[in-house]
Amino acid sequence: MSLFVLPPEILLQVYCSLSDFRSFGALRSSCRTLYELSKTNLRSIMSGIVHNRHPPEAFVLLDQYRPNGICSAQRDWASRYCRNSGFKLQGNWDLEYGSAIGVNEVDCLDRDSRAVRRQVELMVRMLAKGGDVVNADEVETMRRAVYNFVILLCQFHLSEVIECKDVEAAEEECDEGMLKNEDSELFEDFTYDYSYAASLSPKDLCAVIALEPYTDMVEGVLALVADESEDPEDAEDAAMDNEARLKRFALCNLIDCSKVSETFFEGSVKQVLADCLNKGLWRQSANSFKILEEWRKDPKIRLDGEFNSRLFKKKMCPVYCGDKEFRMKELLLLKKGGWMRRTNNVERKLFDFHHSISPWTYEGEFGDEYDEEGLEVVADWHDTVEDDGWGDDGSDFE
């Protein structure tokens, strides 16, 4: 049966099943019927082809570049941590609103794909030097992890904006001159939204954290994954010092640590979580992930909700989208005093254990008295601290 007797709907599906534009060009030039069909449905065909070429995370990252995505301040902030990586979040790509796919969107996707491939090739070479050979599935996991890493870097919101009551208050508080002035204190204070981190599967979240020793986006790792900056005196690092701590987020949200006994912690929990967070999926940690998945289904240790509500809370906040536009968005924010006053003894011991096995973990956040033995002193202080208004009724946000 000839291809040309098929109805247009089927021929369109043939176009959308292609994975490269060279095949598309060859097919559309084969006859007038196919050419006219491709001309009429160019947008949907392009969308089908690029979705075959790129993973879902690529389109989430693409949305960060759109006019209704993150604002220029967020892009500038993320870009400074992606230097020399190939990601150009500051570029003016003239992208469309919504989810449309055109020529500019294709160029943006392909550029990011090259940047991701560069990072993955770097990781594969580094692992090969250590005698680790990665397979195709592990390479795909790395690829998705790099995309997610950059997406997570885009989740810093302007604190001055999200602390307003609503869009009207944000528009009144943050005038155009203030939002454009890079020297303004507004650009020194960002608050992290953990919503995207919470949406990731345990494997995807751990894969991002496991990038830590392998990526050349070192500044991004310090800003997002590591538990303390190399130079806490640095103003830019200090601005985020108590906010974006992806490793801590994972340790507190993979299982319910309030249900973990000291014996269970010492016997299994600390090592299983260490394997998952530091080895990713490409360094023989499959058994640890299997154990973690079993724990997350067990009512004796699993989280009762989507996230640790003792430390985090969802809140509707105004966010700045750029071009003088604000909108309300639900954010997942760390409660005031979250890392210091709301963590339990097991969680703090997990932080301490990761400090012993990772070069970039917190040092001295609990004060000069903190040391190996000082953890128990901190625990005693934590357990006896008086209630100072940081309750669970929503009043813990400014």
* Domain range summary for the chain, segments of one domain joined by +: 4-50, 54-384
Report how far residue 212's alpha carbon sits from residue 126's, in angstroms, rounded to the nearest whole number.
12
Residue 55, CA atoms < 13 Å, CB-side half-sphere: 16
Using one digit for the tens of pLDDT, what is the confidence trace for 310-354?
A: 999 999 999 887 777 888 999 999 988 788 788 888 888 888 887
Report how far residue 200's alpha carbon sits from residue 100's, in angstroms, rounded to the nearest whole number.
24
Q: Which amino acid is at 283?
A: R
Give the list of residues 6+ apart from residue 184 with CB closer than 8 angstroms, or none. Answer: 178
Query: Which one has a higher pLDDT value, 353 or 283?
Result: 353
Give the list of residues 6+ apart from residue 275 with CB closer than 8 angstroms, or none. Answer: 285, 288
Report how far residue 205's alpha carbon sits from residue 145's, in angstroms, rounded to the nearest whole number.
8
Residue 133, CA atoms < 13 Å, CB-side half-sphere: 0
Looking at residue 131, its pLDDT comes to 81
Looking at residue 93, its pLDDT comes to 63
Report how far residue 347's alpha carbon sits from residue 38's, in angstroms, rounded to the nearest whole number.
57
Report how far residue 248's alpha carbon sits from residue 146's, in angstroms, rounded to the nearest whole number.
19
Query: Which one has a higher pLDDT value, 225 or 10?
Result: 10
Q: Which two tokens stand for residue 262?
A: 């000291």
- State the Cα angle at 334 between 292 and 264, rounded to 5°: 30
Whether the pLDDT of residue 375 is over 60: the answer is no
Phi, psi of 327 (to 5 degrees): -150, 160
Whether the pLDDT of residue 367 is over 50: the answer is no
Strands 190-192 and 156-158: antiparallel
Average pLDDT over residues 98-109: 82
Looking at residue 237, its pLDDT comes to 44
Residue 199, CA atoms < 13 Å, CB-side half-sphere: 12
Query: Which one has a higher pLDDT value, 66 or 234?
Result: 66
Give the list of residues 6+ apart from residue 328 with CB closer than 8 angstroms, or none. Answer: 166, 167, 316, 317, 318, 319
Asked if residues 101 and 108 have their Cβ atoms less than 8 Å apart, the reply is no
Using one digit for the tens of pLDDT, what is the confidence trace for 105-129?
A: 888 898 899 989 988 998 888 888 8
With CA atoms as reference, report the closest residue to 95 among 69, 115, 59, 65. 65
Using one digit for the tens of pLDDT, what is the confidence trace for 163-214?
A: 888 888 888 877 655 565 444 444 457 888 999 999 999 889 988 888 877 7
Average pLDDT over residues 69-88: 75
Report how far residue 160's alpha carbon sits from residue 182's, in angstroms, rounded to the nearest whole number.
14
Whether the pLDDT of residue 238 is over 80: the answer is no
